[in-house]
Amino acid sequence: MIGITGFGGYVPRLRLSRQAVAQANAWYAPHFAARKGTRSMVNWDEDSITMAVAAARDCLGAGEDRRHVRSVLLASGTLPFAERLNAGVVAGALTLDDDIDAIDLGGSQRAALSAVTQAVARVRAGGGDVLVLAAEARKTLAASAQELEYGDAAAALLIGQDKVLAEFLGAGTLSVDFVDHFRAAGEDIDYHWEERWVRDEGISKLVPRAVADALQQAGVAPAEVDHLIFPSSFAKMDAQLAKACGIRAEAVVDPLFAQIGDSGLPHALLVLAHLLERAEPGKVIVLAQFGSGAQALVFRTTDAVGSFRPSRGVHEWIARGAEERSYTKFLAFKGQLQLERGMRGEQDKKTALSTAWRHRTALLGLVAGRCEVTGSVHFPPSRLSYDQGKPLQDTQRPYKLADRPAKILSWSAEYLSYHPAPPHHYGQIDFEGGGRILMDFTDLDVGEVDAGSAMEMVFRIKDVDERRQFTRYFWKATPVRGAKA
């Protein structure tokens, strides 16, 4: 049996109030005045790579051994690099083995579902577990409908044969050049054609064909479908699709738009992950996405579906949201508002790539060096240990820190330097079991932490070299937060 053996998601903490956006733009676009709810938005230090890492960690958990993952397929329409394997950065952050296969996919809103079918084929061919990741953080025009409707998020599925939670039953695919929207290479923002045409000629005609093909391959009748996932920001489009396909109206799954918005390419997988967190055994799930054609997948949950829990799960990510009412902050974080930075913002952030390669496990994987004689933990790793008066040489072995409990020894929040989200918080973090790093904090407010506060590690953008358009990544500390009641 091949299917889903693990799942996870990620939704950034910040949730932009649609009312705040509508109010800011009311002078120009008064027709958005009634928009309610929130949409997720990336912090300044998040992008599709960092969100994919977060979703993957949600799926894989804190386990030391990730050797079972033999491929990573990263699907996104907003990957930061056109040349430099984005999935390779993710694999490094996850400390996956060097000899895995890592592939970037994109090009349409259904690329995440394509990644799943490719993963199934790889597993079937005996290629081991495949980690499917999907992430998007799209840019939109100010005062556009998309600005209010989109959201930023990521999802992860582990496809394999061991303890399958939801069996893959079949897929249906249509690849046609139906251009409901497009974005040329190098451009930031989608260009959309008229909604009525997209609904009537596109979604309504193409998606049912893909769903029918998938159900046929799965050997499942439409009436037997328990859950239909079809994310579309067009009102009631999912209900119309269900009807067109002969699927019961009650099967339509809430697409989470009220809290997250439509994250685009990863959204069907995100909703699936959310559904699987509470799914019962024996349920047939159809997920479909539209884009340059359409694709549909059919799964059936197994008796094991309740045996897996992601680290946090989409439910908890949703619950951890913090409403953001600053529209200018949203624009700034999306790189669409040129703020005064002061001269301190002029610092060159050039990255020495040879240095980055030499220290790749420390930088990408947050791997320290643990002395096998004394147990002392060193970050960064070094040839000589810090043991006072008796430094030992060449005794350190790789020791991962990213999933270890940590707390603050000392901290400050400063307003002096240029920082995209002032104040700039950083401090000394002590890891349980050893290890100390002076590191940046992220996703927190002043007064939220103090010495002794529990923190956890997140993989984030360290700096963006705007002269050369290179993004470098490292780990940051963020407060350990439970889900809100």
Partner 1 sequence: MAQGIKDKVAILGMGCSKFGERWDASPEDLMVEAYNEAMADAGIAPEQLGAAWYSTHMDDVGTGRGGTPMGIALRLPNIGITRVENFCAGGSEAVRAAAYAVAAGACDIALALGVEKLKDTGYGGLPMTTVGTYIPQWYPNAVAPANFAQLASAYRSRHGVDAALLKRAIAHVSVKSHANGAKNPKAHFQKAVSEETVLKAPIIAEPLGLFDCAGVSDGAAAVIVTTPEIARSLGKRDLVTFKALQVAVSNGWELQSNEWDGSYVHTARIAAQRAYAEAGITKPREQISMTEVHDCFSITELVTMEDLGLSDVGGAVKDVLDGVFDADGKIPCQIDGGLKCFGHPIGASGIRMLYEMYLQLQGRAGPRQLSSPTMGLTHNLGGQPSQNVCSVSIVGLEGA
Kindly list the residues in this chain that would bind partner 1 in the complex (CB under 8 A).
342-344, 347-349, 351-352, 354-356, 358-359, 362-363, 376, 378-380, 382, 386, 388, 408-417, 419, 423-424, 426-428, 430-431, 434-440, 446, 450-452, 462-463, 472, 474-475
Measured from the CB atom, the residue of 216 and 417 that comes closer to partner 1 is: 417
CA distance 267 to 29: 27
Instruction: Give the shortest CB-451-to-partner 1 separation in angstroms.
Output: 4
Dihedral (CA of 205, 173, 9, 380) sign: negative
The token duo for 32 is 């958005």
> Judged by CB, which is closer to partner 1: 290, or 475?
475
Torsions phi, psi of 31, nearest 5?
-70, -5
Least distance in angstroms from the C-beta of 337 to partner 1: 21
Closer by beta carbon to partner 1, 124 or else 341: 341
> What are the residues whose beta carbons fall under 8 Å from the beta carbon of 358, sequence distance 6 or more?
none
* Residue partners of 131: CB distance under 8 A and separation at least 6: 56, 59, 60, 69, 71, 72, 73, 156, 157, 158, 159
Cα(230)–Cα(294) distance, integer angstroms: 11
**Radius of gyration (C-alpha) of the chain in whole angstroms:** 23
CB nearer partner 1, residue 201 or residue 450: 450
Q: Report CA torsion sign: 42, 43, 44, 48.
A: negative
DSSP string, 423-470: SEEEEEEEETTS-EEEEEB-S--TTS--TT-EEEEEEEEEEEETTTTE
User: What's the Cα-to-Cα distance from 78 to each of 139, 145, 240, rounded to whole Å?
Assistant: 9, 19, 29
* Nearest CB to partner 1, comparing residues 52 and 366: 366
Task: Give the shortest CB-355-to-partner 1 separation in angstroms.
Answer: 4
Taking the complex as a whole, the smallest distance from the CB of residue 449 to partner 1 amounts, in Å, to 9
Between 188 and 463, name the residue whose CB sits nearer to partner 1: 463
Pairing of β 38-41 and β 14-17: antiparallel
Q: How far apart are the first and last CA of the chain?
A: 38
Q: In this structure, what DSSP letter does residue 189 have?
A: B
CB of 441 to partner 1, least distance (A): 9
- Minimum Å gap between C-beta 358 and partner 1 is 8
Q: How far is the CB of 440 from partner 1 (least distance, A)?
A: 5
Please identify which residue in the block is written with the tokens 């209010």: 148
Work out how close the CB of 482 gets to partner 1 at its nearest, in angstroms, rounded to a whole number.
23
Residue among 197 and 386 whose Cβ is closer to partner 1: 386
Residue 416: both structure tokens together: 């002096």
Q: Toward partner 1, which CB reaches closer, 105 or 437?
A: 437
Point out which residues pair with 384 in neighbouring strands.
Answer: 393
Q: Is 473 exposed, middle or buried (0-12, 13-18, 19+ CB in 10 A)?
A: buried
Question: How many CB atoms within 10 Å of residue 422?
Answer: 13
Q: Are 172 and 309 in contact (CB under 8 A)?
A: no
Nearer to partner 1, 36 or 359 (CB): 359
CB of 42 to partner 1, least distance (A): 20
Residue whose pair of structure tokens reads 């799965």 in the numeric block: 218
3-state helix, strand, coil in the chain (%, to 5): 30, 30, 45
Residue with smaller CB distance to partner 1, 255 or 435:
435
Question: Smallest distance, Å, CB 13 to partner 1?
Answer: 20
Residue placing its CB nearer to partner 1 in the complex, 201 or 432:
432
Q: How far is the CB of 480 from partner 1 (least distance, A)?
A: 18
